Amino acid sequence: MYANGLRSLLQGWVKNMAAGADRTPAPLFIMVFLLIASLASVPLQLVKFAITMHWLWLIIYLALYLVWVCVLAILARRIGNFQSGSLIVYPLLVLVFLGVFAVSTFKKLFRLKVTWKGQTIMTEEKTCK
C-alpha cells in the first residue's frame, strides 16, 4: 500500500486522519483523546521531574511509564508482532502520531490540498456512504 516508503505512508495518514477524527462519535473521541494524552504526558512528566530532581515524583512517573510499556506490550501481542524496542520508545511514536494529526487537522481546517500517490486531493472531499 505504501511502496514508496515513509513519505508515502505519512501522506496517506495526513490525508485521512482528521477526516476520521471528524467522523468519530464524541464519547469515543474523548476516550481516545484521554488515552493519547496519558500516553504523552507520562514521559513528559518523567523528563520534567528528572530535570528538576523531584525524586518521589520521578519514581512515581517511572512506575507509570513502566505500566504503560507493559499495557502496550499486552496490546501489541494481541494485534501483531512488534519489536519490544518500539514499546520502550513509544513516546517518539506518539510524537510522530501527534505531528501527523496536527498537520492533517491544519490542512482540513484550512481546506488545503494534500498530495498522495502523486495526486493532489482536496481535504474537503466527501466519501460515499
DSSP state letters, the chain? --TT-HHHHHHHHHHHHHHHHHTS-HHHHHHHHHHHHHHHHHHHHHHHHHHHT-HHHHHHHHHHHHHHHHHHHHHHHHH----HHHHHTHHHHHHHHHHHHHHHHHHHHTT-EEEETTEEEETTPPPP-
pLDDT of 93 above 70: yes
**Residue scoring higher pLDDT (126 or 63):** 63
Q: What is the model's pLDDT at position 91?
A: 95
**What band does 62 get if pLDDT is binned at 50, 70 and 90?**
very high
Task: Report pTM.
Answer: 0.78
Sequence ranges of the domains in the chain: 6-118
pLDDT of 29 above 90: yes
